[in-house]
């Protein structure tokens, strides 16, 4: 459908797209896991371990976009540590969120002599390939001493938003 703005000194014309499916871009559901007083989780593991901060969502349709937002108000490290986002699809095994390469700092990096107690945040997405339940959880590891993605009594939030595509 062609449109024309009239009556102005700088009239504009254009075309309203007709290829947008009804409801496309609509937010279908939001799941939010918020903890105002995180109970602390510290690791010295050199391989990624669960943080215990989880949120699950069941997509209404395959192909929909799941926007994943995570924040921690304060990390807790006595050495050096990193965190990344993990995903479990249905009854499968949990693994690093696909589509991010070389993303070892995707959720956060902390070093005691640089940014101890600084916040962490993550904004990612995943395109659902089925309507199986999706479980998202940041994982963490330490490369020296100890590290926690969130300090005790810090706040954490993990928000999942399903968008119709």
Partner 1 sequence: MIIEAILKINPNAEVTVRGEDINTIEWHNGTTPIPVADIEAKMVELQAEYDAEEWKRNRQAEYPTIDDCIHALLDGGDTLTELQAKRTATKTKYPKSGA
Task: State which residue, 49 or 135, has the beta carbon closest to partner 1.
Answer: 49
Within 10 A of 71 (CB to CB), how many other CB atoms are there?
19
Which of the 8 DSSP states describes residue 25?
T
CA distance linking residue 72 with residue 59, whole number of Å: 25
Applying CB under 8 A, which of residues 56, 127, 145, 157 lies at the interface with partner 1?
145
Residues 6+ apart with CB under 8 A from 96: 48, 84, 85, 86, 87, 103, 139
Which segment (40-48, 58-66, 113-121, 153-161) binds partner 1 by CB under 8 A?
40-48
Record the tokens describing residue 52, joined without a space.
């215990």
Is residue 153 close enough to count as binding partner 1 by CB under 8 A? no
What is the closest distance, in whole angstroms, from the C-beta atom of residue 162 to partner 1 in the complex?
29
Applying CB under 8 A, which of residues 45, 58, 104, 161 lies at the interface with partner 1?
45
Task: State which residue, 10 or 47, has the beta carbon closest to partner 1.
Answer: 47
CA distance linking residue 119 with residue 84, whole number of Å: 14
Number of residues that bind partner 1 (CB under 8 A): 15
Is residue 39 close enough to count as binding partner 1 by CB under 8 A? yes
Task: State which residue, 41 or 74, has the beta carbon closest to partner 1.
Answer: 41
CA distance linking residue 44 with residue 77, whole number of Å: 10
Evaluate whether 149 touches 57 at the Cβ level (below 8 Å): no
Is residue 43 close enough to count as binding partner 1 by CB under 8 A? yes
For the chain, what's the residue count? 165
Applying CB under 8 A, which of residues 33, 35, 44, 127 lies at the interface with partner 1?
44
Applying CB under 8 A, which of residues 146, 155, 157, 161 lies at the interface with partner 1?
146
Question: What phi and psi values does residue 142 have, to the nearest 5 degrees?
Answer: -115, 140
Q: By CB under 8 A, name the binding residues for partner 1.
A: 39-47, 49, 52, 78, 145-146, 152
């Amino acid at each position: 459908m062609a449109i024309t703005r009239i009556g102005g000194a700088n009239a504009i014309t254009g075309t309203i797209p007709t290829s947008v499916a009804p409801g496309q871009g609509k937010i279908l559901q939001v799941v939010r896991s918020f903890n105002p007083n995180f109970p602390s989780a510290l690791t010295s593991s050199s391989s990624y371990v669960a943080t215990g901060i989880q949120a699950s969502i069941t997509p209404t349709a395959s192909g929909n976009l799941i926007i994943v937002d995570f924040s921690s108000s304060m990390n807790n490290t006595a050495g050096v540590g990193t965190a990344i986002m993990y995903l479990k699809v249905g009854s499968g095994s949990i693994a690093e969120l696909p589509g991010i390469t070389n993303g070892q700092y995707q959720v956060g990096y902390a070093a005691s002599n640089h940014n101890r107690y600084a916040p962490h945040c993550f904004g990612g997405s995943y395109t659902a390939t089925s309507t199986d339940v999706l479980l998202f959880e940041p994982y963490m590891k330490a490369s020296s001493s100890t590290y926690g993605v969130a300090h005790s009594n810090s706040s954490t939030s993990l928000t999942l938003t399903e968008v119709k595509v």
